[in-house]
Structure 1
Amino acid sequence: MATFAVGDIQGCFTDLLRLLEKIKFDWRKDKLWLCGDLINRGPQSLNTLRYLFEHRERIRVVLGNHDLHLLAVAHGAASLKGKDNFHDVIDHPGNGDLIEWLLDQPLARYSAKRRQLMVHAGVSPQWTLKQTLACSDTVQATLSSPGQRMVFFKHMYGNMPDQWSTKLQGIERLRYITNAFTRMRFCYSDGRLDMLSKASPSRAPTGLKPWFELPLAIEKQVQIIFGHWAALNGRLANRRFQALDTGMVWGNRLTALNLKTQRRTWVKAL
């Protein structure tokens, strides 16, 4: 039995199948961790979700920013944007089970046995592991409540507040948590989030550092597995961090990480 983590699929369903075949993935005994952004921008969002839902007992997912956007649109709390192409999911008459499944997914998952944490984009520099999981639980509880999630989706979009405080309440607390888990790349030296730059670390704007280069409160024994930042191209790969978004949707690669052996396998875009 093996457990693999896979970076952002973003609707590249055929490439996911190619990758699973290459690693000889066996649904009867293996497990799959997914770093979020399951859908959007790629050509087959609906097929991707239907396939993952079919195998949901062997899958562990964290939500990414594209997944949350899909949920907001599906609830009528947001509109499709110009580059969105998950119309097939929204228009599918049987999408209810898929939406409900996504609503049950957290923003962070942790394996105490392996001391491995999976998130989509990153972890706030101020959070310990305990705080990280508690913050994920806060958003997950909101998504589980029909009334609360509608309010959340309507006010989810925005870049402020950009600094963590235990005094944050309500939608401001939820928005900061969501941005840290699903959108951030760079931070200021004081830990404030920057929501604008998408460059590679070598082209970091003045005053900004990648979030993983700041002193982090989260325990050093924890390995953080994440996606989201395609410009990293997977070059961050060590016992502390594993960046798995290798830009398949942009014509690059889709990557799987064996969580035990730390071996990476990828397929190139056709």
Structure 2
Amino acid sequence: MPSGTADEDEPLSAYKARLHNQNTTKPLIEQVSNQWKEKDSDTEKVPYYAEDDTRELGFCDLEDDGSCPNVSRDIVSSRRFRRMFAVTLLAALLLYYAWKHLVAPPLEEDWAYKEGFVAQENGTYGIAKGGRDIDPDLVRLQDLDKRLLPGGEADVEGKRRLVFVGDVHGCKEELVKLLKEVEFDENSDHLVLVGDVISKGPDNVGVLDELIRLNASSVRGNHEDRILQVARSAHNTLSSTSSKGHAKDLALLKQLKPRHIEYLRSMPLMLHIPSLPQAAKPTHKKDSPISEHILVVHAGVVPGVPFSKQDPYYIMNMRSINRRTHVPSALHASSKNEKPWFDVWGWYNDRIFRKQSLKHFNHALQPTDYEAEEDNRAWTSLWKNFWGERHARPKPQVVIYGHDSKTGLQIHRWSKGLDSACVGGGKLTALVLNAKGKWETKSVGCKNYRG
């Protein structure tokens, strides 16, 4: 009977005792039974590791499944990796597109605008024609009579309105029709023209008579300026020049009476309207109530340049500004650096309104003439710096203008262009402003007087 086998007649307790005695007398190694020991005995105890298997597998060994090339191959060939790669590539392309077409252009444009405000030799932009052939009777800047201001001391109930009208060009019939359309009240409303009230149209004398009767205000346009230049000339004859335009101006001048000439000479280059006392709080939106100072000019204004240094020729003729030099032009924008003047003006006033940094604008950022006076009156020692100097910061302003019939009606936050080509068969447009700063535009159709 084998030692490890139980006899059928042997009691269970005797079998367990005999088995225990056998196990305790064997070496421990003999009591171990596993696959390694069995394999070792089957191979006649040949060492398990062969000589060739003792070398260590390298990081890039192709025989090792965990090596760099094999792991990389498995990753690249996996569907998940291909999806992640495609998503990453798409995200990179979207970021590049967003940078190139959405982020970079505004940054580049912003920088180009700023370059125009970097201080130059004279502390401002180079004036092209300033000081030459200026009418000695020209009033550069005029304040609106405070009695005409909506919501002012003479209008505590806020019933007065200002009605601004674009280039009339001698179209009296359309002017009368427009005033009726806006329900113009001669007792409480005040009419303001943006210049070029005469020339080209059928009834220049009738327009002037109507404006004089209504005690309307108007800034000087390039056509009024031309008529006054002809009037100053010592050679008011058709033979004095071969210019067709001069001949027309001279013919128009001969129709005018002294009262008309006096009215033309009284037109200022710029009309300043103070902020409305009862105006609602302004916003950045295009249809925001107008609570800022208003400047009425015929053509445009160069931002950052004090009014005393504005060139009268460009105030009456500009249409574009070079954004890198801020030199204006009477021509329309024809390159990427030339912008409609109101674009540059809008960028400038946006920056002021948002209280963005004006650090590098240097001497260009002088307050306007009327702002300087206002600040001096309101200035207290609380707002002085260490050296006792005040921190002058310009305020946003709204410009109302005409002149540019080709561009047409242009309504923006900081500028309102009202020339809608009436004399050429377009429309005559009015902007009506009430004491709360709320405004609306209304237009009437016009006949084509150029045909």
1:228 maps onto 2:403 in alignment: yes
Q: 1:54 to 1:220 in 2, by over 3 A?
A: same
Distance in 1 between the 2:396 and 2:275 partners?
12
1: CA distance, partners of 2:399 / 2:167: 15
CA deviation map 1:97-156 (0-9, x unaligned)? 1111221221111111332111110002332xxx22xx3xxxxxxxxxxxxxxxxxxxxx
Partner of 2:445: 268
Partner SS for 2:439: coil
Counterpart selection for 1:119 from 292, 297, 303: 297
Matched residue of 1:232: which SS? Answer: coil
Match of 2:174 in 1: 15
Pick from 300, 317, 329 the counterpart of residue 183 of structure 1.
317
**Gaps in structure 2 of 5+ consecutive residues:** 1-159, 277-292, 349-364, 369-393
Q: Name the structure 2 match of 1:44.
A: 203
Structure number with greater CO (CA < 8 Å, separation at least 6) is 1
Q: Residue 126 of structure 2 aligns with which residue?
A: none
Deviation at 1:186, TM superposition (A): 0.9
1:220–1:240: 8 Å Cα contact kept in structure 2? no
Q: CA deviation at 1:8?
A: 0.5
Corresponding residue of 2:338:
208
Contact persistence 2:165–2:194 (CA under 8 A): yes
The answer to whether the 8 Å contact 2:196/2:224 transfers is: yes
Question: Does structure 1 residue 193 correspond to structure 2 residue 328?
Answer: yes
Larger strand percent: 1
Question: How far off is 1:2 after superposition?
Answer: 1.5
Counterpart of 2:118?
A: none
Q: Normalising by structure 1, report the TM-score.
A: 0.73
Instruction: Kindly indicate whether residue 430 of structure 2 is the aligned counterpart of residue 253 of structure 1.
Output: no
Matches within 5 A, 1:108-147: 108-114=270-276, 115-127=293-305, 131-132=306-307, 135=308
Task: Render the CA deviation track for 1:164-223: whole Å, top value 9, x for unaligned.
Answer: xx6xxxxxxxxx62122100011112111223x24xx6xx33531111222545745311
DSSP-derived class of the 2:230 partner: helix
How many Å separate the matches in 2 of 1:18 and 1:87? 29
Q: CA RMSD in A?
A: 2.3
Distance 2:218 2:179 in 1: 16
Equivalent-residue separation in structure 1 for 2:301 and 2:217 (angstroms): 18
Give the corresponding residue for 2:5: none
Tell me if the contact between 2:199 and 2:252 (Cα under 8 Å) persists in the aligned partners: no
Kept in 2, the 8 Å contact 1:46–1:86? The answer is no
Whether the aligned pair in 2 keeps the contact of 1:73 and 1:80 (CA below 8 Å) is: no
Sequence identity percentage: 28
Per the alignment, in what secondary structure is the counterpart of residue 108 of structure 1? Answer: strand
2:226 maps to 1:69? yes
Aligned pair count? 217
1:238 maps to which of 388, 401, 412: 412
Change (3 A) 1:226 1:187: same
Range with bigger deviation, 4-13 or 75-84:
75-84
Structure 1 spans left out of the alignment, 5+ residues:
136-165, 167-175
Q: Distance in 2 between matches of 1:19 and 1:222?
A: 27
Match of 1:33, SS? strand
Give the whole-Å Cα distance in 2 for the aligned partners of 1:44 and 1:88: 13
Give 1:239 deviation, angstroms.
2.8
Cα pair 1:15 1:267 within 8 Å, conserved: yes
State the partner residue of 1:90.
Answer: 253
**Which 4+ runs in 1 deviate beyond 6 A?**
none
* Separation of aligned partners in 2, 1:36 and 1:107: 9
TM-score by length of 2: 0.45
